[in-house]
């Protein structure tokens, strides 16, 4: 087993869920009889745990009963709106890239702001779950991203992998700040939620425009042996 490890964010990094997430939030507010929210305001909360997202959008404490009800409704709609289209939302190059990295026996993990059950269901629906030996959701930590707790827990589950030999990949400053706080290197992907200037503000180690770029950066950083990309 490699001493190196790679941790991925999920939404906006592996799977192009932002538009579907906005649709699910919008339908949640409609179902709950609440005022509609602007799409850009919803988009700005993607990457945060649901309780923080709804808290911000509703301007209520995270433990408010209405926030909790919205989370429950969202999770029901998530199964109806997002899961059925999961396979069609995978970013270009992700399946081939994960297969290539797995062939190198490189431990792969997910650290996400989604709850564990939702992330697990999404990965399974997309056909990607088997690539990841570890999955850490926001409900498994007391302090979600950008706090480093999720990063530390992921590394512990990866047989106590070291921060020095870990790379975090994400599309938001929440991912990058978590990596920085934990002391690990990071790759910012520009095809997700946050713009390049915003990503640069979090000081990523590398910047990638495509998932193929991500794989190439990882290969160079870990000096992986040259292999042909796996085409699925």
Measured CA to CA, the distance from residue 137 to residue 133 in angstroms comes to: 14
Give SS3 for 57.
helix
Is 9 in the active site?
Answer: yes
157 burial via Cβ count (<10 Å: 0-12, 13-18, 19+): middle
Which member of 9, 171, 175, 213 is catalytic?
A: 9
Measured CA to CA, the distance from residue 171 to residue 185 in angstroms comes to: 14
Cα 194 to the center of its chain, rounded Å: 13
Is 139 in the active site?
Answer: no
Q: Which residues contact 94 (CB under 8 A, 6 or more apart)?
A: 14, 15, 128, 211
| C-alpha distance from residue 124 to each of 145, 182, 186, 191 (Å) | 23, 28, 25, 23
End-to-end CA distance of the chain: 24
**What is the token pair recorded at 105?**
């026996």
Q: Which residues are catalytic?
A: 9, 11
């Amino acid at each position: 087993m490699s001493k190196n490890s790679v941790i991925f964010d999920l939404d906006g990094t592996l799977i192009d869920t932002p538009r579907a997430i906005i649709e699910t939030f919008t339908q949640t507010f409609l179902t709950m009889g609440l005022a509609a929210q602007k799409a850009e305001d919803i988009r700005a909360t993607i990457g945060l745990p649901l309780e923080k997202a709804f808290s911000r959008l509703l301007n209520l404490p995270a433990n408010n009963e209405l926030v909790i009800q919205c989370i429950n409704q969202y999770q029901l709609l998530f199964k109806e709106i997002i899961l059925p289209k999961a396979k069609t939302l995978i970013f270009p190059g992700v399946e081939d890239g994960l297969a290539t990295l797995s062939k190198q026996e490189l431990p792969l993990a997910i650290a996400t702001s989604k709850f564990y059950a939702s992330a697990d269901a999404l990965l399974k629906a997309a056909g990607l779950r088997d690539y990841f030996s570890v999955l850490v959701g926001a409900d498994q930590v007391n302090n979600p991203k950008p706090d480093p707790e999720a990063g530390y827990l992921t590394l512990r589950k990866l047989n106590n992998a070291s921060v020095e030999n870990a790379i975090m990949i994400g599309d938001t400053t929440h991912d990058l700040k978590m990596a920085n706080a934990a002391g690990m290197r990071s790759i910012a992907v520009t095809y997700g939620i946050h713009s390049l200037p915003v990503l640069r503000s979090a000081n990523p180690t590398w910047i990638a425009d495509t998932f193929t770029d991500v794989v190439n950066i990882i290969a160079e950083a870990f000096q992986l042996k040259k292999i042909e990309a796996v085409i699925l």
